[in-house]
Amino acid sequence: MINFAIKIIKSQLLLFILIIPFYSSALSLENKIVLKIENEIITNIDISNETNYLKALNPNLNNLDANKLMLIGKTSLIRQKIKEIEISKHNMNEINSDYLNEIIKSIYTKINLNNKEDFLNYLKNFNVKISDIEKKLYHEAQWNQLVYNKFFTKLKINEDEIRKDINRKKFTFNSYRLSEIMYTANQNSEAEELYKKIKKSILNDGFENTAALYSTSQSSKNGGDLGWINENSINKKILENISNLKIEEYTNPILVPGGFLILKVKDKKKIEKKIDFEKELDLRIRSLQNQQLNQYSNIYFNKIKKDIVINEK
């Protein structure tokens, strides 16, 4: 009886030993290095976590297949790592926690949640930790600070012209809810080919998911959503392109500093209000500054990306 028991134990031990290589192999598949960016590595688990994060910000992504989701997650992480590498080369200031909380509030407001507690419960559905989001937003805020420090003196704001324009405006004006796709191309043939792909993707996957796939703008994380923007704060060239669009229509590519811009009108409405001159002036100046800084951000990112070594495994 004892000999029989020993045989059973030995057979179980042998089975366990045989299983170990297969188990280890499975684990390695679960956490495989996919990319190396300079000295930073990205695994398939990192990409999976990123796609969960992006789906939390943009529920439309749930309509995409797994391959497109993984591509979006990989592209997003590449951008993040490149920015982090550049940030590490500079002596950046600490980001104020109140500022981060305001950004988080703007995120959960866009997905129609009332408060941070609701947002935390919502994130559990995607297996996303708030600490991970805060880390991402911290680095993004540092990137924005870096872009601001580098390019603020190059911003072109004609305050006198803005003041005259405010005086000319009536109390009634249009407001547009916009989404964007920003992309770059080195030559006309490349730009045309990329635009064909974008148009096909918009047709098959929708504008917002296409923004996540192709847009180089920071807004790509939430489907290119720019929120509501008053016509008074929109560049005249861009306003000409969107003013005659119907809801759900989008522009042809608009040439802007840093690449090409496609805008979709998600909604529009008339607003009637008495303008507070100084508040309106401040709003317009900040809006124009942000538009120009976003363009400089794309230009700067594309420049430093050329010097980054990216190896796919």
Residue identified by tokens 């811009």 is: 261
Q: What pLDDT score does 311 carry?
A: 86
* pLDDT band (50, 70, 90) for residue 2: very low
Q: What pLDDT score does 301 carry?
A: 93
Which residues, including other chains, have CB under 8 Å from residue 56's CB and lie 6 or more apart?
A: 122, 123, 125, 126, 128
The stretch 187-193 carries a mean pLDDT of: 85
The stretch 276-302 carries a mean pLDDT of: 90
Question: Average pLDDT over the chain, rounded to whole?
Answer: 86
Q: How far apart are CA 288 and CA 158, in angstroms?
A: 10
More confident site: 203 or 273 = 203
Q: What pLDDT score does 167 carry?
A: 80
The stretch 203-224 carries a mean pLDDT of: 92
Residue in 213, 184, 191 with CA at minimum distance from that of residue 303: 184
What is the model's pTM?
0.79
**Tens digit of each residue's pLDDT (9 = 90 or more) over 20-62:** 343 343 344 467 888 899 888 899 899 999 999 999 999 889 8
What distances in angstroms separate CA 193 from CA 95, 184, 215, one per listed residue?
A: 40, 12, 15
Q: Which of 44-53, 73-82, 165-174 has the lowest mean pLDDT?
A: 165-174
Rg (CA), the chain: 24
* pLDDT band (50, 70, 90) for residue 169: low
By the 8 A CB rule, do 100 and 140 touch? no
Which two three-digit tokens encode residue 180?
């964007």
Residue 218 pLDDT greater than 50, yes or no: yes
Q: Which of 7-11, 164-168, 225-229, 290-294 has the lowest mean pLDDT?
A: 7-11
The stretch 223-228 carries a mean pLDDT of: 91
Q: Which of 10-14, 103-107, 294-298 has the lowest mean pLDDT?
A: 10-14
Q: What pLDDT score does 11 carry?
A: 44
Q: What pLDDT score does 172 carry?
A: 79
Q: Which residues pair with 180 in a beta bridge?
A: 263
The stretch 292-308 carries a mean pLDDT of: 92
Which two three-digit tokens encode residue 207?
């504008």
Q: What pLDDT score does 166 carry?
A: 82
Which residue type sits at 51? T
Q: How far apart are CA 76 and CA 51, in angstroms?
A: 9
Q: What pLDDT score does 4 carry?
A: 42
Q: How many residues are recorded in the chain?
A: 313
Query: In 3-state terms, the chain is what percent helix, strand and coil (to 5)?
Result: 65, 15, 20
Q: What pLDDT score does 210 carry?
A: 95
The stretch 110-118 carries a mean pLDDT of: 90
Q: Running DSSP on this structure, what letter comes out for residue 83?
A: H
By the 8 A CB rule, do 227 and 110 touch? yes
**Tens digit of each residue's pLDDT (9 = 90 or more) over 117-150:** 999 999 999 999 999 999 999 999 999 999 999 9
